[in-house]
Structure 1
C-alpha cells in the first residue's frame, strides 16, 4: 500500500486548494494508494472545499490558528511518524511544518509544489535560505506548475532541479441551475456575455477588466455584459471597483459561486486580467467547456494559451491592449475552431488524470 499525505494550510476557495482536493481524490481512485489530505486549519463546509473531498480520501485537520503554531508542528510530526507515510507533499505555506519530521525520516519521499512565483510564495531571506538548502540537498523535490514557474524558481533559488507538473481538473458537470442562468443571461440578450472568475484581490486586476469592458461598450454598437464571480478578500479594493462600475448596467458582481461550470457554459468568453498567475484553475475550467479565454499574457497563462488558437492574449497590461484583445475575440470568425481547440487542450494536458499520472511517476509509485 502506498501511503501518501498532501499537506496544506487550509481548503479555502482558491486555485491551489482546489487542485489539492482534486489531486487527492484522483490519487485515491487507485486502490494501491492510501491518501491523506491534511489541513493545518479547520475548514467550514460553507466557505471551503472540504465537502468535495472523496470518501476514499482520509481527511485530517489540526485546528491551527493564525500565525506559527509550535503545537501544530509537534502534533503533525507525531502524527506523520505514527502513520509511517511514504510520500509527503506540501503546498503553499505548509512546508515549514515538516521541519522536525524531515529530520527524523530518511526513507520518506518529500515534495513541495510552488503554485505562484518562487519569490511571492517565499519572501524573506531566512525562509528562502531554509528552503533553498532543502531543495539543493534534494531533501525536498520542488514542483512547479508551469514553464514560467520554472523560470521563476531557477532565477530565485539559482537551482535547476525542479519538476514541471501542470495543474488539472476533472470533467465538470452542469447543475440544475444551468437552465435558469440560460433564461436570465442568454435568452433575448444581444450583448456578448463575459465571465470573470477570481477573488477580489489586487493581483487579479479586476480594475483593468472593468475599464476595458467599459471602453469597448463606449465604442462598439454591440455591447459586452460582464459578470464578476468571486469572494471579496480586499474590501477597500471592492469598494473602489463598485465606485468604478457605479450604475453601469452591463457589469455585475455576483460574489462567490459553487456552480462555476454553469456560468462558463453559458458565457461567450472567459476573462482573466491578472498581474500574475501560476496556472489558474479557472482558466483550466474554461478550457474544459470550450469557453474562449481572453487573458493578459502573464505567468503560466502564456504557456496555456496560444493567441487566436486556444484563446486571446493582450499584448500588455494596459486598458487599451486588453480592450483590443476583447474586440479581436468577440468579432473573430474562428470561434468554433478555438472552442474545439480549447477542449482538446484540456483533454490532453489539463485533465486531473494527466496530473495524477505525472505525480505518481514522480512519487515512483506502482
Structure 2
C-alpha cells in the first residue's frame, strides 16, 4: 500500500497536525508514506518523520496547472495508490484524478462546523465527492452530514489519535506560579471563543489565588485578537494572562501547566484535548463536537456549554479550588485516551478503511 497525505498548509492547526501524525505513523506500517503541502509550509514541517516522503507544491491559485502536474508526476514516480486528502485539499486531488483515473481519493473531513452548514454552502465539495473512493470523518455529526449530502456511499468515522511528541526542545518558559497555570492551546480565531475564558478568569478573580492563564496559538493581529488584548488591559490582567503566539515546543509548554482548557463553540475532534491528556493535564472543555464523548463529565474532565458564562464559571471554580480533583481528572483522562485513542489502535482502523475503499 502506497499512500500520500495531502494538506493545504503545515501551520499548527488540528487537521494539519493529524495529516502529519498519519504520515509519520504509517511509515513503518505500509510500503510508502508521503506528505504533501499544497499552498503553505509552516511549523509542522519540523515534525515530519525522516522516513516520510515530503513535497511542497507551492500552489498559487485554485487551478494551478504547474502544481497539478507536479503532483501528478510525484504520484506516478512513487506509484501512489491512495491520495488521503485532508479538508479543502480535496480539490487538487480531484483535478489530478481527472488526469490519472486509477488513483483513489480518500477525503478526510476535520471541519466540525460543517455539520451545521447547508448543502448550498458546500456545492463544490458535494459535486466532486462523486470522485471519492471513501470519506473519513472525525465525529458522528459529520458522518450524518456526509451520509445525507455526499455522493460517496463509503463513509467511516475515524477518531483522531494521540501522538507522542518526540521533540525535546525547551524554549518557552511560562510565566506564573508552578501548579497554578491554566493553558489554552488554540489559534486566536473564531470559533475558539477565547473571550469566554478571559471573562471567567476575571470574574472569578483567579489571579488573587495565584492562578495565571496562558494563551498559546497563532495571533492573526486582527479584530479578534484586539478584543482579547483590550479586555486583558482594561481589566488590569497583564500580569496574569499571557499571550505567546504560535510555538513549536508544545510538549514542554504543557508540561509546565496543571489545567488545560478548550472553549470552542464548534469543534470536530480537537487534537488539543489529546495533547492535554498526554501532558497529564486536568481538562475543562466545551461540550461540542466529539468533546463530550472523549470526556465524561466529573470523571476524566469537566464539561461546559460554550454559550453559558455560568457553566464555565462553575467548572473553573470547582477545579481551581481542589488540588486532588486536578490530579484525579488528569490521571483518569490520560488513561482513557491511551486506552481508546492511541496511535496503534487508530492506525489499524485507518489501514482497514484504506483496504475497504472502493
Cα distance in 1 for partners of 2:2, 2:229 equals: 48
The answer to whether 1:132 aligns with 2:131 is: no
Kept in 1, the 8 Å contact 2:258–2:326? The answer is no
Deviates more, 1:150-159 or 1:344-353: 150-159
Aligned residue in 2 for 1:363: 354
Q: Is 1:20 matched up with 2:19?
A: yes
Equivalent residue for 1:170?
163
**Where does residue 204 of structure 1 map in the other structure?**
192
- CA root-mean-square deviation: 2.8
Residues 1:342 and 2:333 are matched in the alignment: yes
Return the alpha-carbon distance in structure 1 between the equivalents of residues 201 and 91 of structure 2. 43
Aligned CA distance change for structure 1 residues 224 and 156 (closer, same or farther; 3 Å): farther
Q: 1:143 aligns with which of 117, 136, 152?
A: 136
Cα offset, 1:54, TM superposition: 1.2
Cα 1:3–1:153 change in 2 (3 A) is same
User: Using the alignment, how far apart are the partners of 1:163 and 1:319 within structure 2?
Assistant: 35
CA deviation after TM superposition for structure 1 residue 336, in Å: 2.8
List gaps (5 residues or longer) in structure 1: none
Counterparts of 1:215-234 in structure 2, within 5 Å, are: 215-217=203-205, 222-234=209-221
1:151 to partner: Cα distance: 3.4
Secondary structure class of the residue paired with 2:19:
helix
SS in 2 for 1:76: helix
Q: TM-score, normalised by structure 1?
A: 0.86
Deviations 1:42-94 (A, max 9, x none): 52xxx421122111111012111254423323432344244331111101111
Give the corresponding residue for 1:93: 88
Residues 133/210 of structure 1: CA separation in 2 closer, same or farther (3 Å cut): same
CA deviation after TM superposition for structure 1 residue 104, in Å: 4.9
CA deviations 1:231-267 (Å, max 9, x no partner) are 1125221111111000312211111221122222221
TM-score (norm 2): 0.88
Looking at structure 1, the residues matched to 99 and 167 of structure 2 have their Cα atoms a distance apart, in angstroms, of 47
Pick from 253, 271, 280: which aligns with 1:281?
271
Q: What count of residue pairs does the alignment treat as equivalent? A: 352
The 8 Å contact of residues 140 and 157 in structure 2, kept in 1 or not, is answered as: yes
Matches within 5 A, 1:256-267: 256-267=246-257
Secondary structure of 1:151 counterpart: helix
* Shift in CA distance, 253/232, structure 1 to aligned 2, threshold 3 Å: same
Give the C-alpha shift of residue 202 in structure 1.
Answer: 1.9
Give CA-to-partner distance per residue, 1:336-362, whole Å, 9 cap, x none.
332221111221222223222211111
Gaps of 5+ in 2: none
